[in-house]
Structure formats: structure tokens, C-alpha cells
Structure 1
């Protein structure tokens, strides 16, 4: 070894090394399907969190959190001796990342502990809140996840300041690794204004889907105004779009904005340029802390977070109606905070209506409003709602409590997943309620009637697939339970082939009426029967496992508008794209597979099996690499990996599969078909199932994956 040369091999496992995707950018990155591999979870074999949390002493936990709120620590003192505002911001910024378009974000995984969220500019100093909570997490250990604790802390903070909360449910399981699958935007810098490189806006001000926040690194809107330029009317439009994409209507938006700013304060009494690196970029001696001020005091009244400085209300540690009283009864003017941020301050206000200093209770300062707060006053619709809340404080409190519950539980899933003594019993429309289904009917009789109905194998399998494929593990919405495929808007979605769907459903409804089974169960049983028939045609006798009890939702139980985001716009498993997209077909397949909770191997299995059964949209033959369509054989993989054939592109997403010797066309295929044979990882799975000794393994593994998807929404 050369003298003085470092013996460590740098690059491969450090940030300085080039990743495979950087070396080969055309390769398909499958990390999205395996990012939460069991190897990252130290509790996999020891703890079932959703069972052990049922033994949590909630009363004791609640008492400990109440005590924490007023136990000010010298290393990070509480404003006015109460941590409520900080804990509410912690919870809000965890839950507020949720977006309806793909159900990703939210508080249900505890992902705020990891990058990028732990170091977002909008999350400045929330690392301190998590450290304050650590003694409680340490005490309750495995019985209390970080995800539940972070969501609960803000709820108890409100309770401690006088709000009658709507309730709380436990059951959020922690992840142990950053969620790299969540697309937060394509900007190359934090807080980049719209119009720059990778801007999330197009047209007049059209925010790209599935994004909800207006800038990289913000939870929702810029508090100083659009691109940092104060204009409450313009900001109102950003607020409306952002909150709609968080599943909130105008009334909920005003309630959350006002309720979030009824307590606590903004921090900007200092120079932001003096702050050190964020937690992910800090030196090791700072123990994961971020944004430290090592040249000035930097805590208490001298804290810098948002850059805006001041409290919104006269009594910032008390739940009251002071927000609307100040906002609506005063005129406001633009001012600059000590940190140089734009904020609104009252033109004329009585001394006793000013909030006191966080440390010196004898000194008072002007209250402040952000541009988003002023939007509640100047936007006509928001103003009407604000006036009503001002006139009826009890109504405001009730609407806020319900909206806060929705914010903190939207991504937890249906009520069946709620755990704990304070979980509300009321059915809420946004929970997509489904009644319990019957379990005492004769399952074999139902299956026999389906088989005798004259429906084809691909019809039975396709309808079951279309019903279940809407499931997304991000927020536990969609799926076969509820049979919403027969209700608006699902029944009219192009991807569900409405005419064929109506034909099959008419048969299933008769069978359900005759047997007492739910239509949802009949749909799934039909798919199972079709797969059993396809396997038998391939020479394999197998029974697809089934559990009864799915219910049938009604129109009254369904918020039809909220289901628009679940409409399939592509389905690689059925070889269908609604239109030509900028994103490749195989990348769309990965995104859908991840939402359904599939691994790369399971995705490969389903594509290959669905092709040979003949479930393609519209009956197309792309990727049907078999002369025995309808049989659950491994022919797709055998022919995909056979070097007898070559692939020739004939259109953007269409290929001819031709015999190398004769140049005769044998099959046609899409990118989704061929990526299973071209991508090195996916080809490894394809080769496995193409082997002569794995014909039965293919059927067995396909059935196991099928059952996993059919039961994904059974909680």
C-alpha cells in the first residue's frame, strides 16, 4: 500500500460515488418497490405494532404529554412556558404533506424523522420538538410508534389549551428508512420561485399533479405571498388549490388556517444567515440537530424559524376566537420582521390586545398575520366563512376539531384500522365506509353459479382485477371491498370498460340476491374461479384461497367526487394507457405497483399471468406470448426470454416480435411487456419462471400474489 494512502475504498458506499442510475440513466429504477425491505426493520420478527399498541396505557400517555407541554427545558425553552404551538406545528407539518392525488405523504409512517422532510426549510426546528418527545417515546417503547406520537402530540396540545378535540386513533406503523418513492417536485433548489428550472407550475398558474405545496421545501403556501411577494388575493388561490389537494374544502381550509394560528407564534427575531446547517447536513457533534445559531443566543425570543416574527392572537396559549377578532376588526399593513420577512401588522391596536413577549410577560408586541391569513379576510368566499366562525365560536371549534381529525387521520385508512379508546365511532364520508358483509352463505354454491353463468375466464378475472386494482397502500383507499366498481364514478371509468362491466355485474347481482353473498364477495370469487379454471387448463389443480365478509357500499356512503383521483389512467397489468404520457409506460407500472404494495417479483408474476389469461384492455393481443390463451402457463416468460425472437420497434409504445430466421411476425408487445425481459433485475425473475421446473411454482406464486391484492383492503 502506498504510504499515506487511505485504506478505505471510497465511492461505492458514500455520497461521492456514482449510483447505478447515474451511470446508466436509461435503466428502470426498481428501488421504489423495495425501499422498506424487511432488512431495514429491526422489529419485523419481534413486534406486531398494530397488536401491541392495543396494550398501550393511553391514559398515562395522555397525562405525560399534558405534563410535557408546560415542562420548559433550558436548551429549548417553551414560548410562554407552553410547548403547545411547537407540538401543533410538528403534527401539522407531518400530516400536512398528505395529498389526495396519490395518497402519499401524511403522518402515518413517521417519515418526518428522515430526509428530506427532517431538513425541509419549512420544518426548521421541528427536530427540537422530536427531541423533546424522546423521553416519552423511550418510556412507552415498542407500544408507541413515532408516527402515532408525532400525530398525537399536536392533538393533546390543543386539548391542553382548551379545545374539545374530536378524538384520536392509534395504529400508525413506523418506517425505518427514507421514503424515496415520494415525488416532491423537480426543482434543483429549496424554495425556488415558480418559473425557474424544474418549476412545478405551467400555464397561468397550474400546479403539476400530484404536488400540493407551492414550493420545494414548503408544506403548503409561501407565508409571505406568491413567490414571496405579498398579495392576499393571489395567495388565496394558492391556498385553495393546495388545501383541495390535501382533501379539504373551503370551510375546512379556513378552519385549519385559523385554528392553526389561534395558538403559538412565528419566529423571526434574528438573522437567518447565522443559522448552521439543517439536521441532515449538520456535523456529527450536533447530534442531528439543525439550524443552530452558534454566534448569537438563537433560542427563546431570539429564535429564527420561518423568518416572520410574532403571534397571531392576544392569548397564544389559549384556544379562543381571538384570531377572527383581530383579523376582521383591524386594518393591516405590510411590515418587515427583524429577519427581513414580509408580514402584516395592525395599523391601530390597543395595548391590552397585543400578545406579550414569550419570556418577558410585561412587554407586548404587535400581533402579525401572514399573507395566507390575510387571504381569509380578502377572498370573498373565505371572508364569508370567517365571518360565520367569528359570530359562532362554538361552530368554529367543532368544524376545526373535525378538520384537524381529518388532517391527522386521512392517510390512516378506514375506520376499521382505528385503535384506541378515543377513536370516534361516527362514520365519516371521507373514511369511505363499507358495511360488514355476510359470511354464512355457501361459498361453493356461489362459485358454482358463477361458473355456470356463461361468463368467460377473462371476464371473471378482469372484473375482479378492475375492482381491486384501485387499492393504494399510501392511504389505504380503494380496493375490492365495498364493490364500488358498480357505483358512480367508478362504473363509468374508461379503464373499467363500462359496457362489459355492466354485463358482468348484472350476472353477479343476480347471484348475490340468490345466495346472500355480497356483490363484492361475488366479484372476488369470480376472479378466483377464473384463475382456477385457467390453472386447470394449464394442467395445475389449485384452489385460490378466499375469505368471505366483504360488504357492499351504497351511493350514500360514497363521496363520489373524492373517488375521481382513484380513476386508473393506465394499467400495465392489462396493457392499457388512456393516452400518451410523458412518463414511460414501465415507470407508470412501477408507480401503480408500489401503491398496490407489490414487490418487483410480484409485479412480474401478475403481468405474465394476466397476459396469458387474456385480460388485456379491449382484448388486444399485445404481450400475449402464447398459443394457448386462457391457460395460466408460464408461456409469457418462456417466449419473452427465447432468443429465437427479436424485438423491433414499430411505434412509440409498440414492438413486433419476429422470428430471427424467417423474419415472420409472431407477436406484438409494448414497453411494459419487454421491460420484463430487458431490465436485468426483472429478467432474472422472468428467467426463473420460464424454467421447465418452475411451471407449477409460477402458478402457485401467481395465486399467492393475486390473493394478496384481493385482500389488501381487508383490515
Structure 2
């Protein structure tokens, strides 16, 4: 038999039984996995390089789209019939589950990328049958094409669903751009199985049920909490504690939490009228003929037989926006029952006939409403109960609070209001949107440059301060960045990572210069860093100007939610060689996380770190990794020294190393793990060797300038 005739073999690595065994992390678990930085690769994007969604969506016929979505809500399809002839509940659940993955700790998750189309979200147990909602939307997506992203459509469908059922919505903004590949960079938890209880191996909890950061949901595969109770055991007060933690990590306060819980359950129903074990595999596990559909259940009564496992509606009129949720929750006593699928749920005792809801197929039949354990938490928890009573007594107030909370839920990860597109963008700006006044662009830029150049601040001081101002940006939810100059405000001015003493010195020097030239301090801080980089490049022999776009504004204390900004505090910064405290993961892995949030490729990360080292910007002025005899000169010395075989690396402690001169035996340099990984990791070493070449000194300077400008302008895109 010839080699190419062997049965059952394939020349490429894919989902074979040995795939897991053959992966690099399996063979070499200590290898630094750079995949997180490859998410910025454009190879999977089918659009032409010059395509700009933010321009394309402006050509969308917004009125026609709204009309089409309204029509869709009541156009029940035989292949997936709508409950009571209205798809509103299904569409709201889809939008909620897309947006509800957002978490404030790292800004990841949310609806801004259309990631619900891909694994793992498309196959999470909590997202059962949402594949049907997306297929119902497909004719609309097909019609409007590239002018309408899946991300915008998924977020918009739930908003129109509420509108079609009687809610006065707060508004909507377009501008979410689709991704075209699963987001491998998002850490959803340590569990190796779906819906694992908190006492299982690799639990996401520690201490007294303290949820590990940055996680928000209580279980792998859930959006927020288990509807049956903590670990599937009903106890509304315990569930209330989970709800409070989870919603706080979604950036919601108690009032917003009650509003979203009640508003989400005012319409639609749960589905558990069948055998959960009869469901077919999820989309990612289904056979080819399923064509992306999952959880097929042809043997059950009705296409909707099982989703969550709970069965029933929360209100007597599940297709109408009203105050019925609080009427039922607060005016009845409730008892535990099991659904037909075997899930725990709460049902009212001695419910009146008029408070029952109609059967989805036969309106003459009526059923007892239900509540989840999370719903009962709104009645049992003292604070939630007060808010629930307030909403019950004032339905208009409830509708107003919910509409704003829903808008926040679906827009929290979009970034500043300057990115909002469409006719329904609210005129009001909320504090959670991190508002920044529009900056001046008409000042004399050359005069400002000259004034900064004449000040007595060092290159390292100016570079470090500009960097600290800009490094808070994260592309996940577009929060942070240099715009606003919030580095001079609480809480940022007091963060240890910003070295308050050095920061105060720089601010005291640059603030009057900015005021004298009628420029914002935000612009002045960035420009000061740029000029320092230019000066450092000139010292190497390269005359180069760092790109600069004016127009940043200066925020105020009144425009800053100090509590919300606390999550942006850096607790590590590989680029300034600083680690506040030990972590469960290595400093180099933390570096990759930060680089990904900044939108950097592996090459850009390499150039940026090497430049920051020779510019002598280390936190606390430590000399780890400053591999140069001429600090504050933008040379390629970091890479030259790192790749020089004259030096032998020796560990000093867990995170620091000494580079020993092989000839003299003396300590020539010191370094940290994040320095030496650029010599030990094969991919990063290839970049280091590239920049260490004599003929690439200018290339390094240009690459550093490019990535520096990218970070400085990240929050202006």
C-alpha cells in the first residue's frame, strides 16, 4: 500500500481523535501561546480592505429596517412557530444573551462584535434555540447586506421587539462591526464541563463564594445565574447574592438589576414541556445535515418543547409590555414545583383565573404563571423588594428605568457616544458613557510644540506620563485612553501604577503650558510624549515626526464615575516592567492580555516593549531590561543585548534574572520574565533577532513610532 492510500489519515491537523494530543500546548505546556494576539489578523475578514462598516451603515434605510423588523415579529413561520404568534420574547432573549456576556472587569463580551454567531456562545446551554432566532433574522440580513452588521441586527431585534409590544424605548445606535472568527481571547472560566457546580474541580469560586475576576456568570455556559437556584438548588436569598454580584460585574446597580430582571421576564416564556434528554446536540456538535441548527427535538410536542427546562410564562399577557410581573410577584405566595422537564420553578398558590396566561396554541386553555429563583430573589431580598415595590407602585417609572437600563445593556461595550450612528441616538449623555467635552483644534500646534520642548522634563518622564494616560484604553469596550486627561482626576491620579509623585511633577509643568496655548491637557500630554520620542529618535540619527491628531478634550470630576473607572486601574504593566503583586498566571501572559486589549499584534508588542526599555521608562526607575549604555536614546540596544551570546541568563528569584558576562563572570544586566521571554519564545525571538540586525535599526525606530502613535490615538478611532 502506498503512503497516500492509507485509510483514515489526513495530512493536516483538524478535529481528529489525536488533535488535542498534537497541539503545541499539549507537547510543550510552558510555551507562551501568542494566539490571543492573532485575533487582530484580518485574514478571516471577507470584506475588501477598503470597506468601512461605519460608513456603510450610514447608507442604511433605517425606517425600512424598522418596519421590516416590526413585521417579522408577528410573521410566524411553520418551521419555528412563534409563541402566541409573536417572536418578541425570542428576539429579546437573543439580544439579552448577546449583550449580557459583557463584564466590566476587562470589557470583554457583549453584543458589539456579533460573536453570538460563533463558538462557544452559539452552543452554550443557556443559548439553546437562539440559533432559530438568528435564522428568522436571516432574510432581513440578506436584504440589507453589508449596510447592516449581524452585531447591529442582533442588538436591534430585541429593542424593536419591546417597541412592538408597547414599551417606549430609549433609543438605539448602530455602528457595531462584525468579527469573522471565534474570539479565542475571551476567558469564560476554568471549568471543563458545562454547568459545573461551584464545588467541582476548577471552580470559578474561592473563599466564601467569591467569584474570580474577570468572570461575571456563575457557571460555564450561563449568561448570568442559574434559574433554578445556586448550583441548581432553590434558595432566593442565596440567588440574590449571585444576582447582585453578576449584575454589578455587568456594570448594573440594584435598581437597574431589578428593572432588567423584571423587564426581561415581562414578556415571553420559559420552555420545559418535554424531555431535556431528547434534545439533539448543540450547533457545534450537530451533524452536517443540521446546517448549523442545534438542539433538534423532533420527537417532542411542539418545536419549542425544551429550552431552559423551566416551563411557563411570568405574566398573564406575555406579548404585552405592562406591570403584570410585579402584580403577580408581590401579591401571591409562591411554592416550589417541578416542570415537565424536571427543573425547579416557583408557582403561585391559589392563582386567580384572570392571572393565568393563555396556552401558546389554544387560547381557551390557561396555565399558572411561573417564576425562577432569580425572580423570587426580587421579592425575598430586602433591597430588591423595596425597588420592586417602587416599580409596582409607579409603572411609568419602571418603564423609564427599564428602557434606560436596556439601552445601557445593549450599548455598554460600544464606547463613546461619538461612535453612535443612526436617527434614534439619544440626545442625552449618561455618566456611564464616560463623556468627554469636545477639544479645541484651532490652537497654534507649532507654538505648543516649542513650549513643551523648552520645558525641563526628561524624555523618560514625558514618555511614561503619556503612556500612563493612554494605556488604560481597552479595545474590548473602548473605555479609557488619553482623551479626557482623566489621569489628573480621581481615581487615576492616585493609582500606584501612575507614580503620583512623578505624575504631579509632569502635570505641574504641562498644565500651565496647555492653558497658555488654549490646548487641552489631554492633547498636551500626548504631544509631550511624542516630542520625547522624536528627540530620542534624533539621538539615534533618525529625524522622524510622530503622527499627532489634535482635538482631545479634558473631562471633569463631574463627568467621571470614579467607581466605574476603578476597574481600569493597571495592576501590571509589562511595557513599564511593573507587577504590583503576584498573579496566578505569569507576567508574560498578563502582557499578552494587555497587548490584546490595546489591539497590538505580536510584532507591535515586541517593538513597543523594546523601545520603552531603552527610553528608560520602567516603573520606579528600575533598570531591569534597560539593556543599553545610552538610556533615553531610541536604539535597538534592547534586542542587540538580548540576542548576544556573550551573556548567560541566571534566575535571581521567581520573576527576575541576572545576565552574566561569560568572560568576566560579572552581572552585566538584570531582567524580568517579560524581558527574557522575547529571547526564549521562538516567535518573539525571531522578531527580536529581526530588530537586532544592523540593517533594521531604522525599521525598528519606524515600527516603534507607528505602534506608539496607534496607542496614543486608540481612543480617537
Common fold by TM > 0.5: yes
Report Cα offsets for 1:247-285 as digits up to 9, x if no partner.
Answer: 000000000000000000000000000011000000000
* Residue equivalent to 1:237: 241
- Distance in 2 (alpha carbons) for counterparts of 1:377 and 1:295: 38
Give the alignment of 1:147-158 within 5 angstroms. 147-158=151-162
User: SS in structure 2 opposite 1:254?
Assistant: helix
CA contact (8 A) 1:298 1:304 kept: no
Paired residue for 1:132, among 124, 131, 136? 136
TM-score normalised to structure 1 length: 0.99
CA contact (8 A) 1:36 1:177 kept: no
Report Cα offsets for 1:468-492 as digits up to 9, x if no partner.
Answer: 0000000000000000000000000
Shift of 1:537: 1.2
Paired residue for 2:63, among 59, 62, 72? 59
- Distance in 2 (alpha carbons) for counterparts of 1:346 and 1:298: 25
- Distance in 2 (alpha carbons) for counterparts of 1:2 and 1:524: 65
Report Cα offsets for 1:24-45 as digits up to 9, x if no partner.
Answer: 1110000100124111000142
Give the alignment of 1:110-121 within 5 angstroms. 110-121=114-125
- Distance in 2 (alpha carbons) for counterparts of 1:246 and 1:682: 35
CA contact (8 A) 1:36 1:176 kept: no
CA contact (8 A) 2:40 2:601 kept: no
- Distance in 2 (alpha carbons) for counterparts of 1:298 and 1:655: 66
* Residue equivalent to 2:573: 571
User: SS in structure 2 opposite 1:445?
Assistant: helix
Paired residue for 2:231, among 222, 227, 230? 227
Give the alignment of 1:281-292 within 5 angstroms. 281-292=285-296
Paired residue for 2:643, among 641, 644, 665? 641
CA contact (8 A) 2:40 2:600 kept: no
Paired residue for 1:693, among 692, 695, 706? 695
* Residue equivalent to 1:103: 107
Q: Does 1:73 align with 2:77?
A: yes
Paired residue for 2:546, among 544, 547, 556? 544
Report Cα offsets for 1:351-384 as digits up to 9, x if no partner.
Answer: 1210000111000000000000000001000000
User: SS in structure 2 opposite 1:658?
Assistant: strand
* Residue equivalent to 1:194: 198
Shift of 1:664: 1.4
Report Cα offsets for 1:126-168 as digits up to 9, x if no partner.
Answer: 0000000000000000000000000000000000000000000
Shift of 1:538: 1.3
Q: Does 1:677 align with 2:682?
A: no
* Residue equivalent to 2:53: 49
- Distance in 2 (alpha carbons) for counterparts of 1:470 and 1:249: 23
Pair 360,429 (structure 1): closer, same or farther in 2 beyond 3 Å: same
Shift of 1:298: 4.4
* Residue equivalent to 1:14: 15
- Distance in 1 (alpha carbons) for counterparts of 2:152 and 2:48: 18
Shift of 1:89: 0.1
* Residue equivalent to 1:265: 269
CA contact (8 A) 2:159 2:169 kept: yes
* Residue equivalent to 2:511: 509
- Distance in 1 (alpha carbons) for counterparts of 2:569 and 2:294: 41
* Residue equivalent to 2:164: 160
- Distance in 1 (alpha carbons) for counterparts of 2:660 and 2:542: 30
Report Cα offsets for 1:382-407 as digits up to 9, x if no partner.
Answer: 00000000000000000000000000
Shift of 1:191: 0.2
CA contact (8 A) 1:307 1:337 kept: yes
User: SS in structure 1 opposite 2:716?
Assistant: coil
User: SS in structure 1 opposite 2:460?
Assistant: helix
Shift of 1:119: 0.3
User: SS in structure 2 opposite 1:35?
Assistant: helix
Count matched residues: 713
* Residue equivalent to 2:385: 383
User: SS in structure 1 opposite 2:140?
Assistant: helix
**TM-align CA RMSD:** 1.0
- Distance in 1 (alpha carbons) for counterparts of 2:26 and 2:45: 27
Paired residue for 1:218, among 215, 218, 222? 222
Shift of 1:46: 4.8
Report Cα offsets for 1:169-220 as digits up to 9, x if no partner.
Answer: 0000000000010000000110000011110011111000000000000000
Pair 622,44 (structure 1): closer, same or farther in 2 beyond 3 Å: farther
* Residue equivalent to 2:425: 423
Give the alignment of 1:613-628 within 5 angstroms. 613-628=615-630
- Distance in 2 (alpha carbons) for counterparts of 1:661 and 1:188: 50
Shift of 1:23: 1.4
Shift of 1:582: 1.7
Q: Does 1:206 align with 2:210?
A: yes
Shift of 1:10: 5.2
- Distance in 1 (alpha carbons) for counterparts of 2:235 and 2:654: 45
* Residue equivalent to 2:321: 319
Shift of 1:11: 5.7
Structure 2: gaps of 5 or more residues: none
